[in-house]
Amino acid sequence: MNILFLGDLVGENSVYFLKKNLKNICIKYNINLVITNAENVAEGYGITPEISNNLFKIGVNVISTGNHIWDKSEIIPYISKNCNLLKPNNLTNQSAGQGFILYETESNKKILVINLLCNLFMRKSENLFESVNKIMSNYRLKKNCDAIIIDIHGEAASEKQALANYLDGKVTAIIGTHTHVPTSDLRILPSGTAYQTDAGMCGDYDSVIGGKKNEWIENFIKKPDFKKIKPASSNHTMCGVIIKVFEDSGLSSVAKQLILGDILENKIPDEKLFLK
Ligand SMILES: [Fe+2]
């Protein structure tokens, strides 16, 4: 079983780029499940029901989010009814939606996807470790699920790495999001959990974290009057991780970075690593 995890989609152009490429990627790498973080997809701030539906239509199975989940208020009634769109499980200030889903693939594999928010330098949330412990008390690899994937959304590499080592051997993969910068530390930890501090964004890298460069510069010079920034949209790059799951243990057998598009050096994994 192979899983594709894509980092933060920034702006609606990232959806068009995904629409153009996702189907071919899924065929090439025999992908059983597609997860993407999409909390910055609607003009850089939040996600709308329309974009969410569109992402599901083009082949995304589960959407994770983060600190911007409530930026578009129309998502509140939608997330209450659509459990394939996740909010961070430990986000305390809204009751709508859920932070994890046991997703059943077409080949009847049960994959638990968990969305969490870091505590450091982020909006107020419940303790990250307590939050994941509550979920994990009900799930165990190969007992009641075939894989467990965690999106850990946040700034601090230390916090993400602590979580990954805390859960090493208990989950399939822990992939970071939020910084919009793909890190070069993808690895399989000693007990079998794949980990990368940040998957990187799907967006325009001729930018400041996906937003228009000049608007960001102006904002920093003129702070504290911080204005909303429009997404840059001239170039497109998709960043993510492809994970092959051991059928017998549910842990990671192969994990490779995928970087496809403009600006960044591309990383295209060998499809032979992801045969059925
Ligand atoms: Fe974020």
> Domains in the chain, please, with CATH?
2-204+236-274 (3.60.21.10)
Angstrom CA distances, 208 to 130, 153, 201, 203, 211, stand at 33, 18, 11, 11, 5
From ligand 1's centre to the CA of 160, what distance in Å?
14
- pLDDT for 94: 65
How far does residue 1's CA lie from ligand 1's centre (Å)?
29
Backbone angles phi, psi at 32, to 5 degrees: -100, -25
Query: Quick one: residue 172, left, alpha or beta (phi over 0 = left, psi -120 to 50 = alpha)?
Result: alpha
pLDDT, tens only, 97-149: 999 999 999 999 999 999 999 999 998 899 999 999 999 999 999 999 999 99
Average pLDDT of the residues of the chain: 96
Kindly tell me the number of DSSP H helices and DSSP E strands found in the chain: 6, 11
Strand segments (E) across 71-213: 100-104, 110-117, 147-153, 173-177, 187-188, 194-196
Which pLDDT score is estimated for 272? 98
Q: Cα angle vertex 90, ends 83, 57, to 5°?
A: 25
Euclidean distance between CA atoms 211 and 276, whole angstroms: 38
Q: Are 186 and 255 in contact (CB under 8 A)?
A: yes
What lies within 8 Å, CB to CB, of 17 at 6+ separation is 202, 236, 238, 261
In this structure, the number of other CB atoms found within 10 A of the CB of residue 220 comes to 10
Give me Rg for the CA atoms of the chain. Answer: 17
Give pLDDT, residue 92: 79
Q: Please list the ranges in the chain whose pLDDT falls under 50.
A: none
Is the overall model pTM greater than 0.95, yes or no? yes
- Told to judge if 180 belongs to the known catalytic residues of this protein, a careful annotator would answer no
Calculate how far, in angstroms, residue 190's C-alpha sits from the geometric centre of ligand 1: 29
Output the CA 66–ligand 1 centroid distance in Å: 5
Ligand 1 centre distance from Cα of residue 39 (Å) = 7
Ligand 1 mean position, distance from CA 248 (Å): 34
Active-site option among 68, 153, 178, 236? 68
Residue 93 has what pLDDT?
Answer: 64
CA 94 to chain centroid: 20
pLDDT at 166: 98
Q: Which residues of 153-192 are buried (b: 16+ CB within 10 A; e: fewer)?
A: bbbbeebbbebbeebbebbbbbbbbbbbbbeeebebbeeb
67 C-alpha to ligand 1 centroid (Å)? 5
Which among 48, 4, 3, 13 has a CA at the least distance from the CA of 233? 13
Beta bridge partners of 3: 33, 243
- Which pair of tokens denotes residue 239? 């960043």
Distance 49 CA to ligand 1 centre (A): 18
Does residue 125 sit in helix, strand or coil?
Answer: strand
- Answer whether 257's CB lies under 8 Å from 197's CB: no
Q: Please, are residues 43 and 230 in contact by the beta-carbon 8 Å criterion?
A: yes
What per-residue confidence (pLDDT) applies to 225?
74
| Confidence (pLDDT) at 5 | 98
